[in-house]
Chains A and B, each alone.
Chain A
Amino acid sequence: MDFLFGYATLFDAVLISCGLALSQYCVLRAGVFSLATTGFAAIGAYGAALLCVKQGLPPAFAIAVALALGATSAFVLSLPLARLRGVFQAIASFSFVQIVQSILFYSESITGGSNGLNGIPKVIGTGWLFLWIAAVTTLLWAIGRSDIGRALGAARQDETVAVSLGIDVANLHRWTFVLSGAIAGTTGALIAFHDYSLMPETFGFVLLTDVLAYVIMGGSLSVLGPLVGAAILTLLPEIARPLADNRMILMGMILVFVMLYLPHGVADSLRLIWRQRRRARVPQALVPEVQAHG
């Protein structure tokens, strides 16, 4: 049993990556190319930590506030972002992340600036992290199987068709945004209560690329994708220690190869292959023509 505790930190890291990846998955699944997850996580983390350290509020309350903060800021951001698509959405949401980060650096009297925010009580262990990821996964899985899930798939594949089918795409995008913000905000708060201290540079360009890589690696068609992607990419540098020095090459190669050869990501590509095999066993004439990724 003891040797398992040695891996507890690693397991925690995987769970935290999973939380952020699930938030990023939410928006990508709906066809919104937003990179704002990192910004929401920063807001949640600093919001919760400041409430607890400076105001002396209990951590449970602070985490709840972080959830609300993440959701609210996502709602506010979704209003302007609704006007943009594709690359422009990506740049605008990226600007948001940069603005949040540079305000964290600037307001040194409140956030500690580049010295970081220290002395946060550690109240979150592996158990709570696991519970949170399990809850979010269940929720997203249930949404994915419902009518909303099908509407999200339609909106991602072709927005014009989705609108013509009577799907309120603008509304759908707004709520996936709020969900993504709530998940990121809470995960941010969990990071704060897990790590003792916070630094503004944690929530920058590097985290943003990492989180995006998790979802791309795993795939953004099912809730399994971000979990698999986050697990692989967090564990890989640890398992292959000699590769740790060349972490960026590893990351870069994975991004390039997955995009070129497994455009649906590892988990979803396997799932699609498996589904095709199963379908092949049934006489083809009986199977209605279904889009490969629904």
Chain B
Amino acid sequence: MLGQQILNGLTIGSVYALFSLGFTLVFSVHRILNLAHGAVFMWGAFFGLYAITKLGAPLPVAVLFAGLGSAILNVILDLATFRLLRRRNSPEFATMVISLGSGLILMNLAQRLSETRVLRYPFGTFPLTIYEVMGLRISFLQMVIMGSVVVVLGFFLLYLYATSFGRQIRAVAASESTAQLLGVNPTLVFMQTFAISGALAGVAGLLIGNAYNSVSYLMGQPYLLTAFVVVVIGGLGSIIGAVVAGLLVGIVHSLSIAYIASDLRDAIVFGATFLVLLVRPTGLFGQITSEKRVGHA
């Protein structure tokens, strides 16, 4: 029973990790806390759903659709809002409020599109096969979720650490003005990070939409809140932290629902977030020098 719960937790946690990775990437490179990330995630589920139901696309194409659609959406979001703010050199408060506002707009559009209904993926999108491994029941969907998270994470790290684009992104994260002096085009970097972040959110949206088989305009909100928890515990801006903390939060979620009380789930994880912020504000994997996050007092 315990093993089964941990396995379920790992599945859901790997999606949390995927979702939080994009969130933490944008923050670490641009210092933007993108509160519209949940809405982009939700649109990923919609893109995938419409690719399957309206275009009759097979699942791999739908995944591509969800990732690409959300990537484009996120880049548009950057160009339409954050870019304007950057010219004015506005504080982080303004970026947070703007992303909150654009998230609301995206949610309302999805609400109109879906007519406030909860939509479902057609039956058999994922073959309902369940395997027994060492007494644990693991469905094909769970395997696909964990597998795709590993693959996406691999590509992500490869891109960030083994290509010249990745080097540019890391240079901008270290210092935007210095990177610009060295010939890096920051606009291009912004577009890349937002595209990657959107694609990760979109794929996560499709996976979650399938795992619970429900797609609604409100589905992004709880995951955005979970992403807060994940990035704070893992350390805002830390990639490995986001993965480990994502898995951890997934396990805590499924264990607290199984053994304690589902209503207390949020109290437990947000209580942990609060404690981490107090005891170790840089998170479990954050670097102390990376952020001016602790006040003078």
Query: B213 near A: Cβ within 8 Å?
Result: no
The residues in A between 210 and 236 inclusive whose CB is less than 8 angstroms from any CB of B are 212, 216
Bound CA span A253–B271, Å: 33
Task: Tell whether, in the assembled complex, residue B97 and residue A259 are in contact, meaning their CB atoms are under 8 Å apart.
Answer: yes
Task: Choose from B102, B261, B278, B296 the contact partner of A159 (Cβ within 8 Å).
Answer: B296
Task: Choose from B88, B270, B292, B295 the contact partner of A83 (Cβ within 8 Å).
Answer: B295
Residue of A nearest to B294 (CB): A83
B-contacting 9-mer, from A14-22, A88-96, A133-141? A88-96
Residue of A nearest to B229 (CB): A95
Query: A249 near B: Cβ within 8 Å?
Result: yes
Task: Tell whether, in the assembled complex, residue A87 and residue B33 are in contact, meaning their CB atoms are under 8 Å apart.
Answer: yes
Task: Tell whether, in the assembled complex, residue A248 and residue B108 are in contact, meaning their CB atoms are under 8 Å apart.
Answer: yes
The residues in B between 244 and 297 inclusive whose CB is less than 8 angstroms from any CB of A are 261, 263-267, 270-271, 273-274, 277-278, 281, 292-297
Residue of A nearest to B95 (CB): A259
Bound CA span A94–B33, Å: 14
Number of B residues near A (Cβ < 8 Å) is 48
Task: Choose from A99, A170, A212 the contact partner of B270 (Cβ within 8 Å).
Answer: A99
What chain B residues lie within 8 Å of A101 (beta carbons)?
266
Query: B138 near A: Cβ within 8 Å?
Result: no
Interface range, A side:
35 or more
The residues in A between 93 and 118 inclusive whose CB is less than 8 angstroms from any CB of B are 94-96, 98-99, 101-103, 105-106, 113
| Proximity string of chain A (76-91) to chain B, C-beta cutoff 8 Å, 1 when within and 0 when not | 0000101111111011
Residue of B nearest to A159 (CB): B296
Task: Tell whether, in the assembled complex, residue B232 and residue A106 are in contact, meaning their CB atoms are under 8 Å apart.
Answer: no
| Proximity string of chain A (55-90) to chain B, C-beta cutoff 8 Å, 1 when within and 0 when not | 000000000000000000000000010111111101
What chain A residues lie within 8 Å of B109 (beta carbons)?
249
The minimal Cβ–Cβ distance linking B117 to chain A, given in whole angstroms, is 15
Bound CA span A14–B113, Å: 31
Task: Tell whether, in the assembled complex, residue B274 and residue A252 are in contact, meaning their CB atoms are under 8 Å apart.
Answer: no
Residue of A nearest to B109 (CB): A249
Task: Choose from B102, B104, B228, B271 the contact partner of A99 (Cβ within 8 Å).
Answer: B271
The minimal Cβ–Cβ distance linking B54 to chain A, given in whole angstroms, is 24
Bound CA span A246–B96, Å: 22
The minimal Cβ–Cβ distance linking B218 to chain A, given in whole angstroms, is 10
Bound CA span A84–B102, Å: 26
Decide yes or no: A260 and B84 within 8 Å by CB, A83-B281, A249-B105 being known contacts.
Answer: yes
Query: A169 near B: Cβ within 8 Å?
Result: yes
Query: B139 near A: Cβ within 8 Å?
Result: no
Q: What are 6 A-B pairs at a CB distance below 8 A?
A: A95-B273, A102-B265, A159-B295, A163-B296, A248-B108, A253-B105
Q: A102-B270, A212-B97, A256-B101 are in contact. List 19 more A-B contacts (CB 8 A).
A: A83-B281, A83-B294, A84-B277, A84-B294, A86-B93, A87-B92, A87-B293, A91-B228, A95-B229, A95-B270, A95-B271, A96-B270, A105-B263, A159-B295, A160-B296, A216-B97, A251-B101, A252-B108, A263-B94
B: which residues have CB within 8 A of A?
Answer: 33, 81, 84-85, 88, 90, 92-94, 96-98, 100-105, 107-109, 111-112, 221, 225, 228-229, 232, 236, 261, 263-267, 270-271, 273-274, 277-278, 281, 292-297
